[in-house]
Structures are given as C-alpha cells and as structure tokens.
Amino acid sequence: MKPAPDGVAICVLGSSRAGTSLTARLLNLAGVYLGAREELLGGEARQLAGEGEAVRAKAKRSNPEGHWEHYRLMRFNEWILRRLGGNWREPPSPPPRWELSEGLAAERAEAQALLAESFDGRSLWGWKDPRNSLTLPFWRRLLPSMRCVICVRNPVDVARSLQRRDGLPLARGVELWLAYLAAALVNTSGTPRLLVRYEDYFEDPAGTAARLIRFAGCEDALSSPDAERRLTEAIDARMWRNRAGSVSPTGFGSPSAATLFRMIEPLTKAVDEDRDPADRLTASSSADAYAEDLLRHRQASAAPGT
C-alpha cells in the first residue's frame, strides 16, 4: 500500500458557515491542489447527483460559488463521526486518544490509500471540511506535518446562517460553533496554524488573502497584479450576509462562546512587528487551555450516568 502523500498538506477547518469554502477557493486559486475536478463538491454539486434533487438544490443555495470539498474525504469524515457516536449536527465526545484505537487500523489504511490516490505526487495540496475540526486527530496520525487554517466568524452570524440553511434554533447554532471551534483549537495545538477571521476577507480583501497565501507557502501567487486581482475578485461582498455587528452570543445562552470568541479574536490579526511574540503565544495558549476545559466539561456531561 502506498504511504500517505508527501508534500505540504493544508487542512482547512472551523465551524460550518465560517468561511471554509471561501478559504479553500482562495488556496486553490493560489496553487493548492484540492483534488481532481470530478472529486470536488463544486458549484454544480455534481457529486450529489445520486442523492436527490432536494439535497442538490440545498447545496447550491447554501453556497452558490461551490463548497470545494473533496467528496470522498467528506464522506470519510462523516463515517468517522458516526463511528464515534455522532454526526455533524451532534458532535461526538470521544474518549482521549481515540485516534490510536486498534479498532481503527483498517480505516487508517483505507484513508491512507484514499489520500495517496488523490494527492500522490503533489508538492502542495489540501482539503477543506468543517468536520476536520472534530476528526483531525485521525488525520494527524497520517499527516503529522500538515498545516492548518482555522476559519473564525462571529458565532451569532454562524447561528443565523445555520438557521437559514438548516432550520436550526439560534442557540443550537451557537452551541455548534462553540463545539467546532473548541475542537479545532485543541486538535491543532502544536501544529502550524493560521486563524482567519471571515469578516476580514471583506474589510481587507487583499491583505487577508495575502496573509493566507503566505502561510500556505504560495508567495508566487502574489507576484503579479493579475494574480492578486484574481484572488480579491473571488471575494464577493454579496456572500457576507447575516452580519451581527456587536450582538453578543451571550444573549443566546452561551457566555462560553462569547468568552472564546473574545479570546481568539486577537489571534486572527496579522502579527504586529511591535508586538511581543511572547504575548501572542500566551494568548494562543490561553485560548487552547480554555477550549480544552470546554471539551473536557462536554465529555464529562456526555458520559453515562451524568
């Protein structure tokens, strides 16, 4: 069996409706290989042809520019979540070090073969799926040198978008944002990572795109005005809906979401040359520790007999 592909792997994660699709599209334009066209859940949602017109129509409405997910990796993530006792709407609370289970040996081999089939020989490749936030420990065993991009958006905006797309109550949407972001922080701890704020794509398109591309190692994509223009043109302001402004998630019954959002917001900013790097490291460590406490409490609450 082929080993997992060499090259630099970029993993895009974060809650649903937080800008993961836009981020993946920008990376793709800059030269990050996301898979063959027929493997992607793109603007036409061709991969959903066998799942009914209602599913295809919903996918097209929810992201007209395309989701840019590798379809089989997305399905693999769904399988992992089911194996752990959950799904994307009901994130599981697996035991510590679940990814080391011998019971997953066959699945690790299957995932390794899938990665090799799709990305072997590519020097810079990646994939996007909000579910990566929850399943990343599994993939890190196969790809220990990956880089991660965490997409961040105001949790109230995410909740309103989920309500519009999936009919979820606002409080539930905020809970999902919290579960995904906390898991993303904990699961990327110690891994090269970049936090990108969704709103910054529209408030500073060129600067935010450039920050993302440099992190991915695609500086050549910024070498000409035409290349930079293509990147910024992909950021369509019409995509920025459900703007909460100063609305706090505390009003939706989640002071924890408000706290975590406040803690990570400085980490989404470009590094200031005058700022002490130790301060940024401390802020990052504090956010990780808070997220870990949240997940530990969630796991305890989900345990039988609690």
Q: Which pLDDT tens digit goes with each residue over 35-58?
A: 998 888 864 445 444 444 443 344
Residue 189 corresponds to which tokens in the numbers above?
């701890």
Mean pLDDT (whole number) for 209-216: 93
What burial class does residue 249 get, using C-beta atoms within 10 Å of its C-beta: 0-12 exposed, 13-18 middle, 19+ buried? buried
- Read off the pLDDT of residues 157-197 as tens digits, 9 standing for 90 and up: 999 999 999 999 999 999 999 999 999 999 999 999 999 99
Task: Indicate the range of 31-35, 42-46, 98-102 predicted with least confidence.
Answer: 42-46
Using CA atoms in the order 98, 186, 207, 209, what is the torsion angle rounded to 10 degrees? 10
Identify whether 3 is part of a domain.
no
- CATH number for the domain spanning 252: value is 3.40.50
H or E stretch covering 263: helix 255-264
Mean pLDDT for all residues in the chain? 85
Residue 98 corresponds to which tokens in the numbers above?
């679940």
**CA 299-303-306 angle, 5° bins:** 115
Q: Is the pLDDT of residue 275 over 70?
A: no
Identify whether 47 is part of a domain.
yes
| Number of residues that this document lists for the chain | 306
Q: Is the pLDDT of residue 284 over 60?
A: yes
**Are the CB atoms for 175 and 255 separated by under 8 Å?**
no
Residue 71 corresponds to which tokens in the numbers above?
């379809």
Q: Which stretch, 55-59, 66-70, 157-161, 235-239, has highest mean pLDDT?
A: 157-161
User: 10 Å Cβ neighbour count for 147?
Assistant: 19
User: 10 Å Cβ neighbour count for 112?
Assistant: 18
Identify whether 194 is part of a domain.
yes
Residue 21 to residue 128: CA distance in whole angstroms: 7
Task: Indicate the range of 7-16, 73-82, 115-124, 231-240 predicted with least confidence.
Answer: 231-240
What burial class does residue 182 get, using C-beta atoms within 10 Å of its C-beta: 0-12 exposed, 13-18 middle, 19+ buried? buried
H or E stretch covering 261: helix 255-264
Identify whether 296 is part of a domain.
yes
Identify whether 145 is part of a domain.
yes
> Among candidates 158, 106, 104, which has minimal Cα distance to 135?
104
Task: Note the pLDDT of residue 11.
Answer: 97
In this prediction the pTM is 0.88
**Are the CB atoms for 28 and 68 separated by under 8 Å?**
yes
Task: Note the pLDDT of residue 38.
Answer: 86
Task: Note the pLDDT of residue 236.
Answer: 78
Identify whether 257 is part of a domain.
yes
- Read off the pLDDT of residues 193-208 as tens digits, 9 standing for 90 and up: 999 999 999 999 989 9
Identify whether 1 is part of a domain.
no
Phi and psi (nearest 5°) for 195? -100, 125
**Are the CB atoms for 218 and 231 separated by under 8 Å?**
no
Residue range(s) defining the domain that contains residue 15: 8-302
> Among candidates 187, 185, 153, 192, which has minimal Cα distance to 20?
153
Identify whether 71 is part of a domain.
yes
For residue 147, list its beta bridge partners: 10
Task: Note the pLDDT of residue 247.
Answer: 54
Task: Note the pLDDT of residue 200.
Answer: 92
Residue 282 to residue 292: CA distance in whole angstroms: 15
SS3 track for 106-136? HHHHHHHHHHHHHHCCCCEEEEECCCHHHHH
Of the two residues 244 and 70, the one the predictor is more confident about is 70
Domain total in the chain: 1
